[in-house]
Amino acid sequence: MSNDLFRPEHEVWRQTIREFIENELAPNAEEWEEAREVPREIFKRMGELGYLGMRYPEEYGGGGDMLAEAIMHEEMPRCRSGGVAGDIGAHVAISMPHILHFGSDEQKEKYLVPGIKGEWIGCLAITEPDAGSDVASIKTRAVRDGDDWVINGSKTFITNGARCDFMVLAAKTDPEKGYGGISMFVVDTNTPGFEVARKLDKLGWHASTTAELAFTDMRVPGDALLGEENRGFYQIVGMFSWERLSMALGSVGVAQIQMDQALKYAKQRQMFGRPIAGFQVIAHYFADMQTKIEAGRRLTYHALSLYLDGKDPVKEVSMAKLFCGRTACEVIDTCLQIHGGYGYMEEYDISRAYRDVRLMPIGGGTDEIMREIICRMMGL
């Protein structure tokens, strides 16, 4: 797709990653959905090919090209499983960026190198049973004890949580300061006191190893602190833009893919002696869907361009995430309707996409939070 944002080599990369996804990931979707897990070998395979480090510096084994990672997020829905895309995205776009931006040289060497190789898998542990959108209300506590920190608390809805090798963890280090008393830590999950309390069953994203985590007197060294003490809230907020951009890109991708498949189906499906695509009511569905998808794509690319220019496009990113997540839900609902009874059958990808896409208006910041951010940026 021609766009001023991308150079010719990016379109070559788009075709390369698309072929990999369609040939090596998509054929295994049913198996991984049923197993409720993406094999670790997939992370290693993608690491060997350099696909997990596209935006990371070359000194750590990356490619140094954020646009290449953006393209991957848009193409990942071709894997036919939101859980597969979610686990890979959580590792690449959500957990490791905290280490890249705020980690010490030692932390970057220790975690980014094996993370980019796919040898280690990371997660971001912020959400708690009583604190989701309201990050300042987290209760997980980190207390100094000599040169160490002792952490107690719990986290939930953690993507990759059931099998991660390291986690970027938010904890209160000064509860009296509210959001100004949160710090971030990077922790090895073989640390005594860490426990996967339970693996969570979900409406969709069945292949994702989403978990509830518990920490009981989990002792970590002083150098596990990620960035400055009591600056964790600002670090979290600073990383939201890329996470939300990746979700907007994924929403655009899955909406386009499912609409294309529905169009192919509508041209083949006969009703009253002709393809249903020939009926005006169905044709108009496609006109509306393609218009919304293209509007979402342009909005997302605009926010992406601002982000790459070094700006802080909080409003534009929030708009993209809000619009594209909701558009993807609407498009896929319409595509299922076009499939009729077959859309309700598990043998068609649209049924899985219908379950999986419902997370987009929730994860990474709910639609309600996106609207609040946009309103505040408008001075309301």
Catalytic positions are 243
C-alpha distances out from residue 299 to 4, 75, 85, Å:
14, 17, 22
Give, to the nearest 10 degrees, the angle between helix 232-268 and helix 66-75. 40
Tokens representing 327 are: 């558009």
Tokens representing 37 are: 């897990």
What does the DSSP assignment read for 241-289? Answer: HHHHHHHHHHHHHHHHHHHHHHHHHHHH-EETTEEGGGSHHHHHHHHHH
Largest Cα span, the chain: 79
d(CA 14, CA 69): 10
d(CA 30, CA 83): 11
Residues 6 or more apart whose Cβ sits within 8 Å of residue 307: 241, 242, 245, 313, 317
Tokens representing 165 are: 């090798």
| Side-chain half-sphere exposure of 306, counting CA atoms within 13 A | 17
